[in-house]
Amino acid sequence: MTRIGVYPGTFDPVTLGHMDIIRRGAKLVDRLVIGVTTNPSKSPMFTLDERMEMVRREVADVAGEIHVVAFDSLLMDFAEREGAKVIVRGLRAVADFEYEYQMAGMNQQINPRVETVFLMADVALQPIASRLVKEIAIYGGNISKFVTPAVCADVVRRVEATGRKGS
């Protein structure tokens, strides 16, 4: 039986922290489905299609069977559609754990057939958050320590194109 896991997120943009969780998560399952979603509480820098292409490009060299799929539904409904038995979530800090623990509990109530697995982010990558990467870029800071060179170029181009750069 194929073990399928889902790693959901907005990936706006995909960071080195995300990539760490993807590489490690891919080793735990036979197929890792990266679910790229929209979050109504966030205003994305990139469109859904752009984020999906960005993630596809970044995972091209990652070992394992990885699929990048868009979704706009409850996570547990998406996991069921994909045949997943595992949700992979990355944790950076205690604050992440409290939120993720609550979400895992709610998700278990919705669909007890799917388990949530938490992976601790690499210590060097723990402070990285897409929101902060975007903020640093908007104010003209260097984001090359937090994203791949290709994603860095994507973000810089977007900041320059939208004129969002701070003074």
42 catalytic residue (yes or no): yes
Query: By three-state DSSP, how is residue 45 classified?
Result: coil
Retrieve residue 29's tokens. Answer: 């399952």
CB contact at 8 A, 86 and 6: yes
18 catalytic residue (yes or no): yes
- β-strands 31-37, 65-71: how paired? parallel
130 catalytic residue (yes or no): yes
* Catalytically annotated residue among 51, 89, 92, 134: 92
Rg of the chain taking only CA atoms, in angstroms: 16
* Catalytically annotated residue among 3, 42, 113, 145: 42
73 catalytic residue (yes or no): no
User: CA geometry: angle at 42 spanning 104 and 7, to 5°?
Assistant: 40
Neighbouring residues of 159: CB distance < 8 A, sequence distance ≥ 6: 137, 138, 165
> Rounded to 5, what percent of the chain is helix, strand, coil?
45, 20, 35
* Catalytically annotated residue among 67, 73, 85, 130: 130
Catalytic residues: 18, 42, 92, 130
